[in-house]
Amino acid sequence: MNAFSDEFTEEVVKYIDDGFSAKDLKRREMNMLLQDIQDGLIGKVVIHNLDRLTRSMKDLIVLIELFEKHDVQLYSLKEKIDTKTGN
């Protein structure tokens, strides 16, 4: 993840919920991320893999809709998902 962040000139902020399951969105750092997105502070979310974001398909759909609403790009390194390019 650090090598990836070295490629960009944007400020990188890490939201880490160590020790908390990604089974739902009720996590302290997740709540901070969602608030920062709604406040317009985030333009891109980079994750190692999707199961670090959430393990719930329903929550993933909610997150993607929120990202689209606020023009936030989602990039997953493992799955090679990039919502900006449609891949």
pLDDT higher than 90, residue 86: no
Residues 41-49 have a mean pLDDT of 93
According to DSSP, residue 49 is labeled -
pLDDT at 37 over 60: yes
The pLDDT of residue 67 is above 90 = yes
Class of CATH domain 2-82: alpha beta
1 has a pLDDT exceeding 80: no
Average of per-residue pLDDT across 23-44: 93
pTM over 0.85: no
Q: Residue 76: phi, psi to the nearest 5?
A: -110, 120
